[in-house]
Chain A
Amino acid sequence: MYSKILTLRFPKTGVSKPTVCHLAKDYGLIFTILKATVLPRKEGIMVLEVSGPKKNFKNGITFLKEQGVLVQNASREVNRNAKKCIHCGACTAVCPTGALVVSHPELSIDFNIKKCSVCELCVPACPTRAMKVHPTSETFF
Chain B
Amino acid sequence: MVTKVGKHKVNKTFQEINAKIRSGEVVVVTAEEIIGIVEKEGAVAAAKKVDVVTTGTFAPMCSSGAFINFGHSKPGIKASKVWLNNVPAYAGIAAVDCYIGATEPCEDDPLNKVWPGEFNYGGGHVIQDLVTGKKVSLKATAYGTSCYPSRLIEKKVRLNELQSATLCNPRNGYQNYNCAVNLTKKTIYTYMGTLKPKAGNANYCSAGELSPLINDPYYKTIGLGTRIFLGGAQGYVTWQGTQHNPSAARTDNGVPVRPSGTLWVMGDLKKMSPDWLVGMSYQGYGISLAVGLGIPIPILNEEMASYTAVSDSEIYTQIIDYGNDYPNGISKSLGQVSYAELKSGTIELDGKSVQTVPLSSMVKAREIAEILKTWIREGKFLLGEPQFTLPA
A-side interface residues, number (CB < 8 Å): 18
CA distance A127 to B359 in the complex (A): 10
Q: Is A104 an interface residue (CB 8 A)?
A: yes
CA distance A124 to B355 in the complex (A): 20
Q: Is B345 an interface residue (CB 8 A)?
A: yes
Q: Is B69 an interface residue (CB 8 A)?
A: no
B283, A86: Cβ atoms closer than 8 Å: no
* Cβ distance B163 to chain A, nearest Cβ, rounded Å: 30
User: Please, which residues of chain B bring their CB within 8 A of the CB of A104?
Assistant: 343-345
By beta carbon, the residue of chain A nearest B201 is A93
Report if A88-B196 is in contact (Cβ < 8 Å); known contacts: A93-B203, A125-B283: no
CA distance A108 to B196 in the complex (A): 22
A88, B290: Cβ atoms closer than 8 Å: yes
CA distance A11 to B280 in the complex (A): 45
B357, A127: Cβ atoms closer than 8 Å: no
CA distance A93 to B354 in the complex (A): 11
Chain A 97-141 interface 0/1 with B at a Cβ cutoff of 8 Å (1 = within) = 000001010111000000000000000110111000000000000
Q: Which of B9-17, B36-44, B100-108, B361-369 is the interface stretch? A: B361-369
By beta carbon, the residue of chain B nearest A107 is B362
Q: Is B195 an interface residue (CB 8 A)?
A: yes
* Cβ distance B305 to chain A, nearest Cβ, rounded Å: 24
Report if A88-B358 is in contact (Cβ < 8 Å); known contacts: A93-B194, A106-B363: yes
- The residue among A88, A90, A107, A125 with the most chain B CB atoms within 10 A of its own CB is A88
* Cβ distance B315 to chain A, nearest Cβ, rounded Å: 15
CA distance A89 to B364 in the complex (A): 12
Q: Is A94 an interface residue (CB 8 A)?
A: yes
User: Please, which residues of chain A bring their CB within 8 A of the CB of B279?
Assistant: 128
Q: Is B177 an interface residue (CB 8 A)?
A: no
* Cβ distance B152 to chain A, nearest Cβ, rounded Å: 33
CA distance A106 to B283 in the complex (A): 26
Top 8 A-B residue pairs of the complex, sorted by shortest distance between their CB atoms: A89-B358, A127-B280, A107-B362, A87-B363, A93-B357, A90-B193, A87-B361, A124-B283
